Chain A
Amino acid sequence: MIFITPILYIISAILFVFGIKQLSKATTARRGNATSALGMLIAIIATLVGHGFQFQWIIVGALAGAIIGVLASKLVKMTAMPEMVALFNGFGGLASLLVGWGTYQVVADAMGVGWGVPALDAASAAKFMDDIGGGFSAATIYLAILIGGITFTGSIIAWGKLSGVVTQKPVLFTGQNVVNFLIVLAILVGAVWFTVDPEQYWIAVVATGVALVLGIMVVIPIGGADMPVVISLLNSYSGLAACAAGFVIRNNLLIITGALVGASGIILTSIMCKAMNRSLGNVLFSGFGAAGGSTGGSAIEGEAKPMQPSDAYYILEAASSVVVVPGYGMAVAQAQHAVRELAEMLEHNGTEVKYAIHPVAGRMPGHMNVLLAEANVSYDQLVEMDSINPTMETVDVAIVIGANDVVNPAAREDEGSPIYGMPIIDADKARTCFILKRSMASGFAGIDNPLFFRDNSYMIFGDAKSTVEGLVTEFKESAA
């Protein structure tokens, strides 16, 4: 039966590739996901026909995992997708860490190596090295533990930041760089030592601990609005962790599949960085937004004009084109259904409605698209930033809902601004711009937004959901 396994592995890898290929079109994406799931099923079957297994333990683990997985996938709210993806990145990392460790533990137990056990004599040490599979194997075990550990705790912190358990603000302390430097140094020294001397059980233990600490250290200094980059990066790590586990057990399929996920995360990371006009290094190490309240650029003149929904209604009623610019605030206020209802009212009134989606709007890549899809907005109404901007001048009303930095014209005009150069949606170029916002507080980065003070801008204060619902009521009443 053994010869079947490699053939099935190839089929499985092909199905993964096709699945991702089908995912590149909205019409075939769902089928793509099923294709990829079939690939996974085949991979599992291919493995289980291979040799004897401790099935009782497999069943226990798989059953527990399946129950949690089903519940999580059914219960999660679409606004909480970033949290779920963050958590799942972490589980992927942890699984790879456990595989790496488990493979090491087998040899360690067989040779009587453990924590606090006296060192082996030279002959036994050589046998240990042999059983492990040589220095390269030791290095891959170390790598699996390292990447898996960083991915795990990093993802847990990212989850904490997204769900509000951990502060969204960058956490910075004096000596942070020194601590990080020492951690990296320890990891490098450990890597060399473990590769030469894998029977040193304590190195594996300490390296695991250090990797877990490093995961925390790399994510805590990153602010909430930079989470799209962090989640993408951790997504990549979770794939690379699977790769590392693949090297440990010398399994082609793990390496291929892990590499696909790793590549996916890398691409998303670079798209997110570009959309913020920042380098990855800047996102990871600058503690962006920690300064708080620094305007940096030139002072803003003018006054923000508040407007009541009842007055806004008259402008919307007369508009022939409206562009909605959603941001993280729309997710927080759960306003997506109300927004869709308003859009339907407008369309019924003969107004053309589009949604302008900034690549980093929300807390993960594509976050807004999912929320609006949940609210039954058809995806052909969602327009990417580069396509909508040239048409903004012909738009009657831009409604900014819970977005701030992604519509900040300072990014285009004010060279002194910290976000100067970041591509934005030109909401300010619309004839009229409504900004739905809870208060005048500045956005995540603590940067003032001159958009609020423009002549054509009106602030509609209040909870985004109730404001939009108020507008819908206005439309309904006038229709009655």
Chain B
Amino acid sequence: MEALQQFEFLFFIFILAMFLGLELITKVPSQLHTPLMSGSNAISGISLVGALITLNVENADSTLTTVLGACAVGFATINVVGGYLVTDRMLEMFKARPAPDKKGGGA
């Protein structure tokens, strides 16, 4: 019964986070949708936390778990590192016009 209550709680958090996400993302303009996607690639690398927990010492007896966990750490790290870096590289390129140049520019 305790487990059931815990799931109820986790599910509650899930639904709230989902609504928060919908509210937040709706405000992202289409211009930034690609960085949003690569950024969320990085964020979904949060599985890394799960992967680390799989590699705790209590699980050391199960060789297969160690292998699975190490692979999970690897893939999640690709997402985290690659995702944040490529998003940064992309956003660095997003620039407004510096200053109106020679002709007009006011448009």
Binding site for B on A (CB under 8 A): 16-17, 19-21, 23-24, 26-27, 29-30, 32-34, 36-37, 40, 43-44, 47-48, 50-54, 57-58, 60-62, 64-66, 68-70, 72-74, 76, 78, 81, 84-85, 88-89, 91-92, 94-96, 98-99, 101-103, 105-106, 108-110, 133-134, 136-137, 231-232, 235, 238-239, 241-243, 245-268, 271, 347-348, 350, 352, 357, 359, 364-367, 369-370, 373-374, 376, 378-382, 384
Contact = CB atoms under 8 A, between A and B. Distances in A.
Given A61-B74, A364-B33, 5 more contacts: A26-B31, A57-B66, A98-B71, A101-B68, A373-B90
B21 to A, nearest CB: 3
A264 B36 contact: yes
Contacts of A379: 31, 94-96
A366 B91 CA distance: 12
Contacts of A23: 28, 32, 35-36, 39
Given A54-B66, A256-B13, A369-B34, A33 B88 contact: yes
Contacts of A364: 33-34, 37
A265 B32 contact: no
Interface string B42-62: 111111111111111111111
B46 A258 contact: yes
B6 A250 contact: yes
A64 B51 CA distance: 14
Contact of A359 (B21, B30, B95): B30
Nearest to A37: B84
A268 B47 contact: no
Given A376-B95, A380-B96, A105 B62 contact: yes
A92 B47 contact: yes
5 contacts: A54-B69, A95-B51, A105-B65, A134-B4, A264-B21
Contact of A57 (B4, B31, B43, B69): B69
Interface in B68-102: 68-98, 101-102
Given A57-B70, A99-B54, A102-B68, A33 B87 contact: yes
A289 B9 CA distance: 45
Interface residues on B, range: 35 or more
Contacts of A374: 93
A29 B81 contact: no
A27 B95 CA distance: 8
Contacts of B10: 246-247, 250, 252, 255
B54 to A, nearest CB: 4
Contacts of A359: 30
Contacts of B51: 61, 95, 98-99, 102
Contact of B44 (A60, A242, A252, A352): A242
B86 A96 contact: no
B94 A373 contact: yes
